[in-house]
């Protein structure tokens, strides 16, 4: 391995299992899943609880058996083709060529999800197991067949064009996680692509999936990022400028990789029996609270997906995240964020913000993500249609009609929390909308406006005494109606009985991050990584574990400062690999 174990361990802040981590400022902290922040503990040292971890990679038992036993398996080889009567195809990863470099690992994923002792990093086999060069015991690699609506149009068969499902691992806590390699070579679904991912996109996926977890957003996880010297040719912006990049593989995990497109392809192909079999499998495995003998079980399932999708998109909005490609093949049936492509965290508040350079019409702009979610849920309803009775179809239409209200309720809840509001007031929605309009007019920074409001005292807010370091609020204060909004906000806070200023600020800091993975930060790390300098990848990994806590290392490099001027010129695009799998 080309990266020392010491360097990787230094990049991992977590020091204990069970959700307990070392605080970068010293002491201990406990992750709070309800408020998504780290709460300081009173003890001076981190107690490390001894838990059994596997020290030998060959003891990591991964099974593909439940997938293989449940469905007819396409085993016609790796040639690109149209697949029928199958959910998975047998497909072995293609090992990366050349020396392999372990760029980064997630210590928490290795220890707390995969039950691995960090000593496995010292094994020369680590990069081979985690890049697809050596099979895990029990793993039968598979490529998943799915279809999808892309930018509103049916795209036909898509599938895992550069990803391989290794199987499922059940950890010591009884959690089941599905392991998938991304960038691991051709499959039957690669079309004209080479099945590879490049370092550039892999750094973004690795960092963002882990960052989203620490922001409290449901997401897939990333265990490792490995790069090779294998040349991969890409025309990043479709402008004829083909450049040589380096092939990379991310080992990513999710409770399930099934997506809306998994069902669409079967319904569209008329494979109704297989559609029913897949749905029964999904309900039994991932939705155990739904009774298998319930005649309306598929309606219950649909209702759950509608509710959870609305919450997920509202959560994206609350942290300023734009997915970039909200197609049905990128929307998880378990309502977690998957397939990190041309995503972006919004800087200046702008509902028309589009992170994907190729989205000319702004279909998946920041302000239209909720509409994208509704469209996808409508396509899910169509996929369920062939197995439902007429009266159930009518009920499903009503469930979908409730989506805007569910989304609106969740959005309001999240943004009330961002402003420290307690209880209910009929003017809360107006207060939030008023602020967002001021932010849009003044191009105020989304993340830092809310964060700096969290750091101002009641007295500073009322007196409009804004310190120089509150640069986002100072931008906002340029609006002629700023004082009007402040008066409304102060009156609302004064209605909150038994609520201190300290409590209000503490609540707000727990939900308003100081650091998010801005595109310019990722780009800076990528440029260094392309020169074999992975220091900023490691720095971002450490900082983004603690997004709600001010950190000296982050302040020193300007991660909470005004973005550099060159950040406005950045273009992000999906990786044009000729296949359609993120």
* Catalytic site positions: 329
Tokens 């990803």 belong to residue: 163
Backbone angles phi, psi at 268, to 5 degrees: -70, -30
Q: How far apart are the first and last CA of the chain?
A: 27
Which residue reads 């997506």 in tokens? 259
Identify any residues that bridge with 39 across adjacent strands, giving them in sequence order: 30
**Is residue 407 within 8 Å of 373, Cβ to Cβ?**
yes
- List, in sequence order, every residue forming a beta bridge with 198; answer none if it has no partner: 247
Reduce the secondary structure of 195-259 to three states and give it as a string. CCEEHHHHHHHHHHHHHHHHCCCCECEEEEEEEEEEEEEECCCCCCCCEEEEEEEEEEEECCCCE
Q: Which of 307, 259, 266, 254 is nearest to 282 (CA)?
A: 259
Whose tokens are 């479709």? That residue is 238
Joined tokens for residue 70: 């449940």
User: Can you say whether the dihedral through the CA atoms of 326, 572, 437, 548 is positive or negative?
Assistant: positive
**How far is it, in rounded angstroms, from Cα 519 to Cα 21?**
27
Sign, CA torsion 176/177/178/179: negative
Rounded CA gap, 184 and 171, in Å? 24
3-class SS at 346? coil
CB-based contacts of 455, cutoff 8 Å, min separation 6: 470, 505, 509
Q: What would you report as the CA-atom Rg of the chain, rounded to the nearest whole angstrom? A: 24
CB 256 within 8 A of CB 334: yes
Instruction: Specify the 3-state DSSP secondary structure of 483.
Output: helix
Beta-carbon contacts of 436 under 8 Å, excluding residues fewer than 6 positions away, are 349
Query: Cα angle vertex 447, ends 457, 410, to 5°?
Result: 95
Nearest Cα to Cα of residue 442 among 490, 485, 491: 485
CB burial class (10 A; 0-12, 13-18, 19+) of residue 553?
exposed
How many whole angstroms separate alpha carbon 4 and alpha carbon 363?
44
What letter does residue 63 receive in the DSSP assignment?
Answer: B
| Distances in whole angstroms, Cα of residue 356 to Cα of each of 149, 151, 314, 491 | 17, 12, 20, 40
Give the Cβ contact number of residue 463 at 10 Å. 10
């Amino acid at each position: 391995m080309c990266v020392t174990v010491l360097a990787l361990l230094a990049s991992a802040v977590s020091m204990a299992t069970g959700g307990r981590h070392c605080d970068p400022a010293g002491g201990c902290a406990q992750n709070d899943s309800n408020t998504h922040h780290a709460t300081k503990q009173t003890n001076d040292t981190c107690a490390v609880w001894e838990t059994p971890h596997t020290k030998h990679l060959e003891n990591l038992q991964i099974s593909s058996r439940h997938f293989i036993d449940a469905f007819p398996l396409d085993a016609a080889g790796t040639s690109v083709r149209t697949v029928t009567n199958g959910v998975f195809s047998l497909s072995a990863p293609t090992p990366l060529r050349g020396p392999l470099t372990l760029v980064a690992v997630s210590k928490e994923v290795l220890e707390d999800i995969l039950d691995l002792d960090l000593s496995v990093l010292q094994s020369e086999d680590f990069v081979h197991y985690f890049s697809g060069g050596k099979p895990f015991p029990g793993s039968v690699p598979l490529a998943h067949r799915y279809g999808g609506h892309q930018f509103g149009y049916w795209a036909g068969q898509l599938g895992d064009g550069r990803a391989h499902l290794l199987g499922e691992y059940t950890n010591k806590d009884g959690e089941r996680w599905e392991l998938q390699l991304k960038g691991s070579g051709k499959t039957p679904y690669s079309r004209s692509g080479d099945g590879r991912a490049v370092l550039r996109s892999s750094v973004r996926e690795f960092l963002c999936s882990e960052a989203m977890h620490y922001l409290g957003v449901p997401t897939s996880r990333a265990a490792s990022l490995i790069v090779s010297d294998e040349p991969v040719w890409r025309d990043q912006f479709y402008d004829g400028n083909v450049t040589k990049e380096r092939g990379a593989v991310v080992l990513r995990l999710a409770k399930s990789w099934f997506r809306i497109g998994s069902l669409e392809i079967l319904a569209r192909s008329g494979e109704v029996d297989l559609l029913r079999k897949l749905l029964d499998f999904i309900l039994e495995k991932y939705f155990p609270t739904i009774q298998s003998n319930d005649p309306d079980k598929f309606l219950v399932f649909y209702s759950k997906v509608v509710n959870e999708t609305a919450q997920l998109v509202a959560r994206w909005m609350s942290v300023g995240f734009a997915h970039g490609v909200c197609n049905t093949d990128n929307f998880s049936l378990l309502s977690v964020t998957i397939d990190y492509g041309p995503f972006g965290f919004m800087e200046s508040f702008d509902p028309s913000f589009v992170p994907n350079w190729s989205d000319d019409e702004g279909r998946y702009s920041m302000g239209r993500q909720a509409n994208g979610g509704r469209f996808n849920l409508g396509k899910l309803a169509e996929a369920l249609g062939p197995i439902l009775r007429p009266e159930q179809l009518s009920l499903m239409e009503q469930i979908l009609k409730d989506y805007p209200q569910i989304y609106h309720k969740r959005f309001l809840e999240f943004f009330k929390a961002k402003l420290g509001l307690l209880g209910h007031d009929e003017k809360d929605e107006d207060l939030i909308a008023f602020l967002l309009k001021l932010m849009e007019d003044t191009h105020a920074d989304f993340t830092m406006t809310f964060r700096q409001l969290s750091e101002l005292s009641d007295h500073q807010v009322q007196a409009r005494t804004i310190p120089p370091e509150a640069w986002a609020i100072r931008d906002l204060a340029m609006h002629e109606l700023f004082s009007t909004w402040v008066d409304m906000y102060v009156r609302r806070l004064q209605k909150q009985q038994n609520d201190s200023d300290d409590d209000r600020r503490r609540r707000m800091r727990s939900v308003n991050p100081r650091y998010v993975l801005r595109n310019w930060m990722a780009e800076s790390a990528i440029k260094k990584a392309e020169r074999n300098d992975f220091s900023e990848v490691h720095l971002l990994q450490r900082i983004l574990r603690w997004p709600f806590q001010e950190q000296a290392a982050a302040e020193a490099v300007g991660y909470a400062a005004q973005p550099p001027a060159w950040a406005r010129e950045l273009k992000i695009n999906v990786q044009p690999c000729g296949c359609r799998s993120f």
